[in-house]
Amino acid sequence: MGLMTRNEYIESLGRMKKRVFIMGQEVENLIDHPLVRPSLNACAMTYELAQQPEHADLMLTTSNLTGQTVNRFTHLHQNTADLVIKVKMLRLLGQMTGCCFQRCVGMDALNALDSVTYEMDRAMGTGYHARFRQYLKHVQERDLVMNGAMTDPKGDRRLKPSQQADPDLFVRIVERKPDGIVVRGAKLHQTGALNSHEIIVMPTQTLSEEDKDYAVSFAIPADAQGVLMIYGRQPSDTRKLEGGQRDLGNREFGGHEAAIILEDVFVPWERVFMAGEYAFSGLLVERFAGYHRQSYGGCKTGVGDVVIGATQSLAQYQGTDKTSHIKDKIVEMIHLNETMYACGIACSAEGKPTASGTYLIDPLLANVCKLNVTRFPYEITRLAQDIAGGLLVTLPSEKDFANPKTGPYLEKYLHSVEQYTTEDRCRMLRLVENLTLGPGAAAYLVESLHGAGSPQAQRIMLRRLANLEEKMRLARRLAGIGNHREKQ
């Protein structure tokens, strides 16, 4: 089949029979639903850009499995250049959509599974790696969107999966059959699930022998029997149902999250990549998290570019762009954004090959990248709100501008710099509102904080990877403290 166009991608979703609930109602026509369509448009941009010659170097590459041209979102990284290009691609998409475009998690899951299944086979004599690569050929040949599903509900965080009062609070194997397994449970916070062709499930944490039934990884069609999705709400989401344009801010693109319920779903063995090998659960989580923490150095800086551009535009529309403190705040926003990007590039350039040949980012620098991402977008949005002013949250609705009794007053009293229209100013205010307070903030801020692990997860990895013993040895040498002291 090869590469899909934007329209072919949308048509392929229309042929699927997903079971989805949105605001209490079961929905059959997802591709035209006003709450879903903005996120569909964002994901479709990964196909649209791939068809444009000027973006081919970023969006397309050659498969190491088939030798065919594939979308980079289905590719296994073959060198550090691939890792660097990935970050640049994600920044471009963030710039083009101003939101989450939903294919990163699946790409990161594919790359993590490739190296982990190889090492698992080598250590345990299993046959997962060849099975996984055969599955990946299927993904590449059809240019599919993968939804990477890692986060379980977790129940009582003090208890292990097998100790929970309800054993289904972590996805688990409930039955093993000659031709496959049956799984049950749920995955939360699933970005772009409604727009995906496939779901790749992974364990959510390091597991021990008593929890081996929870050490499971597999791929299923997003409309497989027993799969149910429940759409998550976002701030100001009902504006998409009002039929207007100006109050949306980002009028074409958006993101979404969903809870995925797995009610006794059958998975054939050829789609199973881990089934009880608990000793490798932590490695899979760690590899996936490393790739995904790298991803944030690209996508969030792309959205940050839009936030900075919108804020600078507002300063011009309002006549404050030449003020020294406004200039300083814009420069600070740029500094923070480029620092995140620099970390994404650095962890990519320092990547190394795994045993399977697929390249892995430098895990220490990837965690530095993501820890910065948990902080810097919040400061960027604070500065954006500072420059925007109070009208950001007191601006009347689009309907008030359309009302002949109130519209002329608003046009008169909200006008600012002569060469810009009141509508220009209002549209830009709504875009900043969307990105810093509204549905866009769900992806730019909360996802920056919790996606790919909360800040504490990165701190734990930094402590583990920093090699403090070596740093102390360097200090002792310079201080003239001899080897006899080191041995104490």
Report strand pairing: 227-231 vs 20-22. parallel
Annotated catalytic residue 104: yes
User: What is the reported pLDDT for 243?
Assistant: 87
Q: How many domains does the chain have?
A: 1
pTM of the model: 0.96
**Looking at 100, 343, 347, 369, which residue is catalytic?**
100
Phi, psi of 17, rounded to the nearest 5 degrees? -120, 65
Report strand pairing: 258-268 vs 227-231. antiparallel
Separation of alpha carbons 3 and 61, rounded Å: 11
Contact in structure between 264 and 174 (CB atoms under 8 Å): yes
Q: What is the 8-class DSSP label of residue 143?
A: T
Amino acid (one-letter) located at 194: L
16 within a domain of the structure (yes/no) = no
**Looking at 104, 343, 347, 426, which residue is catalytic?**
104
Annotated catalytic residue 257: yes
Mean pLDDT over all residues of the chain?
Answer: 96
Helix or strand (DSSP H, E) at 473: helix 468-479
Annotated catalytic residue 447: yes
Separation of alpha carbons 2 and 462, rounded Å: 41
159 within a domain of the structure (yes/no) = no
400 within a domain of the structure (yes/no) = yes
Q: Of 311-315, 393-397, 482-486, which gets the smallest average pLDDT?
A: 482-486
**Looking at 46, 151, 191, 436, which residue is catalytic?**
191
Kindly report, residue by residue over 398-423, the tens digit of the pLDDT. 999 999 999 999 999 999 999 999 99
3 state DSSP class of 26: strand
Contacts of 331 (CB under 8 A, 6+ apart): none
Domain that holds residue 412: 284-471
pLDDT value at 488 more than 50: no
C-alpha atoms less than 13 angstroms from C-alpha of 216 in its C-beta half-sphere? 32
**Looking at 299, 343, 347, 369, which residue is catalytic?**
299
Residue with tokens 């009028």: 251
229 within a domain of the structure (yes/no) = no
Annotated catalytic residue 191: yes
390 within a domain of the structure (yes/no) = yes
**Looking at 198, 398, 433, 447, which residue is catalytic?**
447
User: What is the reported pLDDT for 335?
Assistant: 98
Helix or strand (DSSP H, E) at 364: helix 363-373
Separation of alpha carbons 376 and 303, rounded Å: 12
Contact in structure between 261 and 125 (CB atoms under 8 Å): no
Annotated catalytic residue 469: no
Kindly report, residue by residue over 158-195, the tens digit of the pLDDT. 999 999 999 999 999 999 999 999 999 999 999 999 99
**Looking at 99, 118, 197, 257, which residue is catalytic?**
257
Instruction: Give the pLDDT band (50/70/90) at residue 485.
Output: low
Kindly report, residue by residue over 344-373, the tens digit of the pLDDT. 999 999 999 999 999 999 999 999 999 999
Closest-CA residue to 99 (of 445, 454, 455): 445
Output the CA angle 401-407-411, nearest 5 degrees.
95
Mean of the pLDDT values across residues 20-40? 97
Mean of the pLDDT values across residues 418-441? 96
453 within a domain of the structure (yes/no) = yes
User: What is the reported pLDDT for 484?
Assistant: 53
**Looking at 61, 74, 292, 317, which residue is catalytic?**
292
**Per-position DSSP letters for 250-310, written without gaps between them:** SSS-----EEEEEEEEEEEGGGEEEES-GGGHHHHHHHHHHHHHHHHHHHHHHHHHHHHHH
Q: Which two tokens stand for residue 304?
A: 């940050």
367 within a domain of the structure (yes/no) = yes
Annotated catalytic residue 242: no
**Looking at 296, 317, 341, 444, which residue is catalytic?**
296
- Residue 214 to residues 148, 202, 204, 342, Cα–Cα distance (Å): 17, 9, 9, 37
Q: Which two tokens stand for residue 2?
A: 């090869």
State how far Cα 8 lies from the chain centre: 23
Kindly report, residue by residue over 274-295, the tens digit of the pLDDT. 999 999 999 999 999 999 999 9
Separation of alpha carbons 445 and 436, rounded Å: 8
- The CATH number covering residue 407 comes to 1.20.140.10
